[in-house]
Each structure stands twice: as structure tokens, then as C-alpha cells.
């Protein structure tokens, strides 16, 4: 099973650049920029270990560590370094989230940040053969005006950014509808739309409904509380709406989170995929390791694990020809490993 999961061609749809900085990378960049904190990997690891539980505790370390990034070169190195890790995990396609406001609010220019990121993913594509598209996220705790300003700053790079997302927190008090006008303009400008619905935050189910019915999102990030509302489960399945699940595991967790919810959604015919979210900030790490942990906790077969990966490829924002090529790659891999496609698709 480990060998099967390791070799499987993979897609990642929920992956943050800012959560993919290794302690070594953070320390090297901090030193290069002459900072007086996070100059050793041990110091970064201590901060990771000491963070309080829950989303807001997670975000405390998450924000502090990314502040080391300042120059175009920093963003280039972070992106290219991440792509090399993806390659090791046989990830062939990734949608990569980034948080412009977290950087522009510190005085970094949008074009420096984006220039480094975009050059990093383009070089990775040419040299490592991984397709990476970029999703810029609104930080939901910031103002609507700030989100509009971000869209303005992104306008010159519109054709190099595939989608608009929304992350950070707290989520309660900052629901999807707060940004309905921002999303409406992004839709007019041709962006695909997605957004975070972190698990077990207050009113999560209501927020998912808002994103479906009012915003018209194309994907739902996290969103696993949908399982609490049978009508929502039916609606997600009917629309073939994909949830980008992230069954991450922290050091203190006995097993990956939300395995039962993911199984229930999968059994109900909802398109749910497995993603690492912030691979350097959770013990679950990169995608091969996460798949292994999920499989062990779920008891899923090779065919079941292939179906969850097929869900990710199904949810790509690409044309039919490109998507069919990815389906074929996965199907060929399954076939070569004796996995019947009828078991994968349950047809």
C-alpha cells in the first residue's frame, strides 16, 4: 500500500505557500534578511511545538514565520523549494494558495512578491515537469476595501492567477457574504472562486450554503461540516461540488483529523479530495505521507484511495482535454497495479 500510494500520480488543490516553508528555509531566509528571530531551525520548531490548539493558535505561528519573507528572491526560493517537495511526492498538478495581503501589509510590493512566486512556479514547471496554478486568497479578517485593493493590484497579472480564495480567521464574524461584492467582481474578471470553511467553526454549515447559493463558488475548501446537514450533502453531490478536505495530523493527535467525516461524504457520493493544507506546519507533512496516514486510519482499499485522488483531478479548473490526460495517467497507474477501474468509480 505504501508503495502504491507513493507512486500514485497526485493532485493537490489545497496547499498554502506560506504553510510550506520548512524550518530550515525560514531560518536561512531570516538570516539572509538580517532578522533577529527564527534564525535557527530549532527556534522555528519550538514555536511550532508551542502553538495553542485550534485555528487561531495555528495562525499565530503561521503569520510569524512567513514574515521572514521580504524579497522577490525569498518568494522564488520558497516556491521552487515547495515544487521540489511536490515532485518527490509524485504530485503532477497543484493549485497553490498565497496571501497577498499578509505581505503587502508589511510593505512588500505586490509585484515583487508575485514576480518571485510566478517565476518559481514557471521554472519548476519547465525543470521539474509539475503544473502549478495560483489562487490568491482574501484574508477574511481584513476589510472589504483591502480585498478590493488586492484585486486592483492583481489586475496586471490577471492571466497568471487562476482563482480567488479566502482564508485565515476568525471565520465567525467574517462569513463568505462579507465579500460577496469582491467575489462578484472577481467572477466578472474571469477568476474561479473558492474559499475556506474550516472544520468545527461556528456556523460552518450556514457559511457553506452562503458560498454555494450567494457567492456561487466553484469549490469549497475544507467544508467537512457539510456532513451535519443531510440536505447540504445531497446538494453537494447533485452539483458535483468538490470539497478540498485536509485530514491533517498534529504531533499530539493520535490519527489524522476528520477521517470519519470524509468517509461519510465519500459514501454519500460527494466529491471530496485529500490535501495537505500546510505541509510544513503539521506532522502529516506532504501528500504521500498524508495518504498513508489516512489509509491506515480509514482502512480504505487501493481502489478507494484512487477514487479520492480521482476526485481531485475531477475538480481541476482546466479544459476537458487537459483533464482527460490526467484521468488517463491515474487510470493507467491503477491498471498497472491491478486496481479495477469499476471499483474506483463504484460503477
What DSSP element (H or E) covers 196? strand 196-197
Nearer to ligand HPA, 266 or 277 (CB): 277
Among ligand HPA, Zn ion, none, partner that 19 touches (CB below 5 to 8 angstroms by kind): ligand HPA
Q: Is the C-alpha dihedral spanning 28, 29, 32, 38 positive or negative?
A: negative
Task: Find the shortest distance in angstroms from Cβ 129 to ligand HPA.
Answer: 27
DSSP for 285-304 reads -SHHHHHHHHHHHH---HHH
Residue 283 CA to chain centroid, in angstroms? 16
What DSSP element (H or E) covers 13? strand 10-16
Task: Find the shortest distance in angstroms from Cβ 62 to ligand HPA.
Answer: 6
Nearer to Zn ion, 200 or 304 (CB): 200
Nearer to ligand HPA, 250 or 323 (CB): 250
Among Zn ion, ligand HPA, none, partner that 165 touches (CB below 5 to 8 angstroms by kind): none
Nearer to ligand HPA, 55 or 177 (CB): 55
The strand pair at 91-98 and 131-139 is best described as parallel
Task: Find the shortest distance in angstroms from Cβ 271 to ligand HPA.
Answer: 19
Q: Is 95 in the site for Zn ion (CB under 5 A)?
A: no
Task: Find the shortest distance in angstroms from Cβ 15 to Zn ion.
Answer: 8
Are the CB atoms for 166 and 179 separated by under 8 Å? yes
Task: Find the shortest distance in angstroms from Cβ 306 to ligand HPA.
Answer: 25
Site string for Zn ion, 265-304 (x = CB under 5 A): ------------x---------------------------
Nine cell digits for residue 6: 507513493
Are the CB atoms for 295 and 1 separated by under 8 Å? yes
DSSP annotation of 277 reads B
What DSSP element (H or E) covers 15? strand 10-16
Nine cell digits for residue 49: 511545538
Nearer to ligand HPA, 89 or 257 (CB): 257
Which residues sit at the interface with ligand HPA, rule CB under 6 A? Answer: 16, 19, 55, 62, 167-169, 196, 198, 277-278
Nearer to ligand HPA, 133 or 139 (CB): 139
Nearer to Zn ion, 30 or 166 (CB): 166
Are the CB atoms for 282 and 251 separated by under 8 Å? no
Among Zn ion, ligand HPA, none, partner that 198 touches (CB below 5 to 8 angstroms by kind): ligand HPA
Task: Find the shortest distance in angstroms from Cβ 338 to ligand HPA.
Answer: 36
223 phi-psi bin (left φ>0, alpha ψ -120 to 50, beta other):
left
Nine cell digits for residue 53: 490548539
Task: Find the shortest distance in angstroms from Cβ 103 to ligand HPA.
Answer: 14
Q: Which residues bind Zn ion (CB under 5 A)?
A: 277
Amino acid at each position: 500500500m505504501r508503495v502504491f500510494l507513493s507512486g500514485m500520480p497526485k493532485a493537490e488543490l489545497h496547499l498554502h505557500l506560506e504553510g510550506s516553508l520548512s524550518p530550515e528555509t525560514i531560518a536561512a531566509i531570516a538570516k539572509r534578511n538580517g532578522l533577529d528571530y527564527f534564525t535557527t531551525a530549532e527556534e522555528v520548531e519550538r514555536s511550532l511545538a508551542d502553538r495553542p490548539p485550534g485555528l487561531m493558535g495555528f495562525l499565530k505561528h503561521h503569520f510569524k514565520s512567513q514574515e521572514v519573507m521580504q524579497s522577490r528572491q525569498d518568494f522564488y526560493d520558497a516556491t521552487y523549494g515547495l515544487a521540489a517537495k511536490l515532485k518527490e511526492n509524485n504530485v503532477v498538478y497543484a493549485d497553490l494558495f498565497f496571501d497577498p495581503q499578509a505581505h503587502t501589509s508589511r510593505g512588500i510590493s505586490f509585484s515583487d512578491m508575485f514576480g518571485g512566486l510566478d517565476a518559481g512556479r514557471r521554472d519548476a514547471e519547465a525543470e521539474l515537469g509539475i503544473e502549478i496554478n495560483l489562487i490568491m486568497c482574501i484574508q477574511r479578517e481584513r476589510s472589504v476595501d483591502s480585498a478590493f485593493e488586492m484585486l486592483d493590484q492583481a489586475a496586471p497579472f490577471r492571466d497568471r492567477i487562476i482563482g480567488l480564495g479566502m482564508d485565515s480567521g476568525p471565520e465567525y464574524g467574517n462569513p463568505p457574504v462579507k465579500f460577496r461584492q469582491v467575489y462578484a467582481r472577481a467572477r466578472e474578471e474571469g477568476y474561479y472562486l473558492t474559499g475556506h470553511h474550516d472544520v468545527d467553526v461556528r456556523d460552518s454549515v450556514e457559511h457553506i450554503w452562503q458560498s454555494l447559493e450567494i457567492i456561487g463558488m466553484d469549490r469549497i475548501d475544507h467544508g467537512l461540516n457539510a456532513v451535519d446537514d443531510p440536505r447540504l450533502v445531497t446538494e453537494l453531490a447533485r452539483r458535483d461540488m468538490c470539497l478540498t478536505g485536509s485530514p491533517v495530523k498534529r504531533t499530539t493527535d493520535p490519527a489524522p483529523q476528520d477521517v470519519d467525516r470524509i468517509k461519510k461524504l465519500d459514501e454519500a457520493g460527494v466529491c471530496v479530495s485529500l490535501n495537505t493544507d500546510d505541509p510544513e506546519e503539521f506532522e502529516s507533512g506532504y501528500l504521500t505521507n498524508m495518504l498513508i496516514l489516512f489509509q491506515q486510519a480509514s482502512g480504505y482499499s487501493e481502489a478507494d484511495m484512487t477514487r479520492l485522488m480521482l476526485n481531485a483531478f475531477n475538480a481541476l479548473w482546466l479544459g476537458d482535454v487537459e483533464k482527460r490526460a490526467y484521468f488517463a495517467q491515474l487510470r493507467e497507474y491503477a491498471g498497472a497495479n491491478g486496481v479495477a477501474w469499476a471499483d474506483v468509480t463504484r460503477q
